[in-house]
Copies of this chain bind each other. A is one copy, B any other.
Amino acid sequence: MDLEFRLKAAFRTSGDPTPAMDAIQEFLEGQALKVLAKGAPEGEEAKIKSWNVKDNRIDIEIVSGRYVRSHDALIRLRKPLAGKIGKEYHLGIRGIDVDEFVIKMPSEKSVGDLKLPHVRSMDYDGECITLNLDVGEAELENRVPDRILTLMEDKIREKVYGGKTEHWNLLWQSEKKAHPFEKDPTQEMLEKGWIKRGASRGQWIHGPQSTKLFRTFEKIVLEELLEPLGYQEMIFPKLVPWDVWKKSGHAKGVYPEIYYVCPPKTRDPEYWEEVADHYKVTKEVPTELIKEKIGDPIGGLCYAQCPPFWMYLQGETIPTESFPLKVFDRSGTSHRYESGGIHGMERVDEFHRIEIVWLGTKEQVVKASEELHERYMHIFNEILDLEWRKAWVTPWFMAQEGLAGVSDEQSAGTTDYEAPLPYRGEDGEWLEFQNVSVNGNKYPSGFNVKNQSGEELWSGCSGVGLERWTSAFLAQKGLDPENWPEEFRKRFGEMPDGISFF
């Protein structure tokens, strides 16, 4: 069978509709048919299965397919029907009651036992999934049934065809290089005291040597890329509330990897006295009690870095001559709840990134991304002397919403920069240490930013992960500055003494 919506509902009237019976019949058997066919292919119009009047209600049952859906049909009928009975019978329509709303959708497989909001029950008979919705007037108006349908269709597609695999398409590759170093650089850094593990998961404390490496990478990006290309520095917030992730799309799927932030329910010291007292007596922090005393999560720690910037532009119209607008941020940490086990510097829960963002017309944005690619190539080839490649991959903005494949929009997408880590061996996985993304109109549209000219706005972003650069560079070059390329060494200067232990 095909997709079917079956809705039993009623228009609540301001008085007894019985006197208007004939007028209602005339409407439902005449004008209404045109209303319910509008925009649907022949034979696909919504159909009124039955109707009745009683107790200040006009009951109506509508069955439809995909085109003019039952709930849309009902809403379409409201106004002309109200006109009809209002003028002649002084009856108003006060609202809509939904008695039953069932969606049947064909599926080769069950999607499992899901808890969806506004879904009372979900059954699978081997051919069809039957959804019994729990919706009222507001949900019909807000198109909740459509969102449920889309979501279910995505899930069925995934069950039947499996998740689409990550896209990966080689764009450029450097020549193969001999690497003077074959060890795991994290282990070496630990042994030399450049870094130590922090007290939290996937977190490092960087001593003076490692910090100087980060700051040298930062200086190179500033001097060789950001300044010549005219990027201005800004400071983006680092605590990200839901409102930002709703607009950026992250609210669709980023939950498994977020470090959530909860505020105290109050700052009143008396409220917290019990917690402090517990600690003072037992020397243990009562985390269960604290969880009761904090509010629901207001959002999480910085994950993708650019979304909170967009609140600066939200709702604004920007003069045409300002484009391309080019900014960057390097004001704080990003955090991801990574998969367990002990990893080195190449996969961390807390990391440092220079985030670069640009926006303008499609042409300006694509051009700016090409300029960045050129400058990166200069840095990786002539200063860091890396072996690396770049590939066209599933865009990060899709991956972070739980999607795979490539963007529908040809020029939009993500280029990953990858480097081999010699200690992983010949066939070892390469490390993504860098990306450049053209995000199409996603952000300007999500945050409602307009170009004065009326032209569509696009944007792009590029994240320079300092831990990743460090991993790639040290894995290939080792920790001894003697083996570092001259162009890098002269920018790095003297190795600091660091802190020694006994």
What is A's interface to B at a CB cutoff of 8 Å? 114-118, 144, 147-148, 150-151, 196, 198-201, 203-208, 210-212, 214-215, 232-246, 251-253, 255-264, 266-269, 271-283, 285-288, 290-291, 293-294, 296-299, 301, 308-309, 311-313, 316-319, 322, 325, 327, 331-333, 335, 337-339, 349-350, 352, 402, 452, 496-502
Contacts and interface: CB of A to CB of B under 8 A. Distances in A.
Contacts of A233: 208, 211-212, 215
A319 B500 contact: yes
Given A255-B272, A297-B290, A117 B281 contact: yes
A256 B264 contact: yes
Given A147-B280, A261-B260, A200 B116 contact: no
Nearest to A451: B502
A239 B350 contact: yes
B332 A116 contact: no
B205 A308 contact: yes
Contacts of A402: 269, 276
A262 B262 contact: yes
A201 B261 CA distance: 13
A335 to B, nearest CB: 6
B297 A198 contact: no
A219 to B, nearest CB: 12
Nearest to A307: B199
How many chain copies does the complex carry? Answer: 2
B256 A199 contact: no
B352 A331 contact: yes
Majority-rule SS of A interface residues: mixed
Nearest to A236: B205
B234 A253 contact: no
A298 B244 CA distance: 24
Contacts of A268: 256
A10 to B, nearest CB: 24
Given A256-B266, A269-B402, A350-B238, A251 B279 contact: yes
A290 B500 contact: no
Given A290-B297, A291-B296, A199 B309 contact: no
Contacts of A204: 235, 237
Given A200-B299, A205-B309, A235-B211, A256 B267 contact: yes
